[in-house]
Structure 1
Amino acid sequence: MNKTATYTLITGANSGIGYATASNLVAQHKAVILVARNAEKLNMAREQLLLSYPMANILTEITDLGDSADIKQLFSSISQQKINLEGVVHCAGDMLEAPLMMSRDVQIDQQYQIHLKAALLLCQGASKLMLRKKCGSIVLVSSVVAEQGSSGQVVYASMKAAIKGLVTSLAQELGSYNIRVNALAPGVIATPLTAHFDDAKKQQLSQRTALKRLGEGEDIANVAAFLLSSQAAYITGQTIAVDGGLRL
């Protein structure tokens, strides 16, 4: 570990948008902390990145974001290692597809924990570390369904919609400390989260976008990397749609 380096923490980093974001940053010679709950998949992601970028500065932290104590332990570990944390991208999550009347309490609790409570605790832990340097950028991944809604995804959409309130309020709290907070609202992205969609559904969703295609993890990663960078130094409190014009 290079203690003089500035690190960006990425959740859900073993696949999908999280992995694409990690790859984007590593390609720019940025130091990253990959976070996921599956140790085997997390290590495979790290090894895959190192194959392409042998000199990359990549740390891993096995963390179950469904466990609040685990999230607090994550930041305790980062603090003990005296890591200079300047960026966070929260990509981890899963998508509950069920009518509200069929959604069980345990499923609602799980969606709340992974999408909203985890985001709150990640922001809390990260901002405490960023206050030391009075510099930082936090990027949370929301969803297009947070604003346009989606039948059969009421619970998921509700949790993602709450991210906007988190971002706009926390941006005001942390702005005077030069810590920026933003969110991305992806459309339908070709990741493991949507891998179960059949070809007909993918084609239908593609045709609903202005660009006539589904998004790729890299489409989201590019915007996340921009928001982390100094080029976005005057952008905070925003939820930016990256949906190929799905909402137009």
Structure 2
Amino acid sequence: MEILYTLVTGATGGLGGAFVKELARRSQPLYLTGRNAEKLEALREQLLHSHPALPVRTAVCDLADDRSRRALFAAFARENVRFCRLVYAAGADIQKPLEEYTEEKIAFQARANFEGAVSLARAVLERSEGVPELLFVGSVSGLYPMPYFALYSAAKKALWQFAAALRAELHGRAKVTCVQPGAIPTREDIKENIRTQGLWGKLAALPPDVVARKSLNAVRKNRRSPVLGFWNKLMHASTALLPLSWKMRFIAKKWSKTRKDAF
């Protein structure tokens, strides 16, 4: 019987790792990518120790580099792997004024958050069997423009719209979901940002294991773009009728002194 893999990007990160654990718990064969070979190998060994019968493959890939992606696709062909699911959990949440970016950081963030997702979706569809699931991790930051988080929010908006359009193209042939979580406490800088937001930050944040579980359930049910978490749903619904200029002024005041760049 042919093995059908789930391709997980950003597998060694906090959120990607949560997806890996949840998928392993569900006995889903895994094909894992990340930028760090040592971390990937350590993750593979950990999985083989805890789930000895689980098929696990790994490949180093910088999703912001088209040559690296082409090498990954060549590995798919060489290994003759087939897929039943894509989990695009990779991304770069760089947050600062545009004037503080370099050209390299602009390209990296745009490619990691959007171009890589489009590229891997095509590659997985090309090597899929049955009705594949394409799961993209968006963000509530992509629901409207966010000053000082401008490139990130724009890329997540693009990802959301791409997923919605692709869903229509593949109607009846694939399940396509772009989830919209809020803050996910996977790094110390993110945890600090959540703390500075007080009670609301604490309520709106979701642990990575919860995001992973809810996201996989959402794509299984073929939901289009669910906002994850009660408080994030409430915020989105309660601010829907507010003028965009009001929301952006509030966001600009909130984020103007925040800097976040762990990449």
- TM above 0.5, yes or no, is yes
Say which of 97, 103, 118 aligns to 2:116: 118
- The answer as to whether partners of 1:215 and 1:244 remain within 8 angstroms in 2 is no
Q: Does 1:225 align with 2:207?
A: no
Report how many aligned residue pairs link the two structures. Answer: 234
Cα 1:135–1:213 shift into 2, 3 Å: closer
Alignment correspondent of 2:56: 58
Cα separation, 2, equivalents of 1:198 and 1:33: 29
1:9-61 deviations in Å (ceiling 9; x for gaps): 00000121111111101111110111101100111112222332232221111
TM-score w.r.t. length of structure 1: 0.86
Paired AA for residue 227 in structure 2: A
How big is the shift at 1:62? Answer: 1.0
Say which of 133, 139, 153 aligns to 1:143: 139
Say which of 184, 196, 212 aligns to 2:189: 196
Alignment correspondent of 1:184: 179
Alignment correspondent of 2:207: 216
Cα separation, 1, equivalents of 2:156 and 2:150: 10
- Structure number with greater Rg is 2
Unaligned 5+ runs, structure 1 = none
Paired AA for residue 50 in structure 2: S
C-alpha RMSD over aligned residues = 2.0
Cα 1:83–1:52 shift into 2, 3 Å: same
- The answer as to whether partners of 2:84 and 2:133 remain within 8 angstroms in 1 is yes
TM-score w.r.t. length of structure 2: 0.82
Cα separation, 2, equivalents of 1:96 and 1:213: 20
TM superposition outliers: structure 1 runs of 4+ over 6 Å: none
Paired AA for residue 140 in structure 2: V
Say which of 197, 205, 209 aligns to 1:205: 197
Q: Does 1:170 align with 2:163?
A: no
Q: Kindly, what percent of the aligned residue pairs are identical?
A: 23
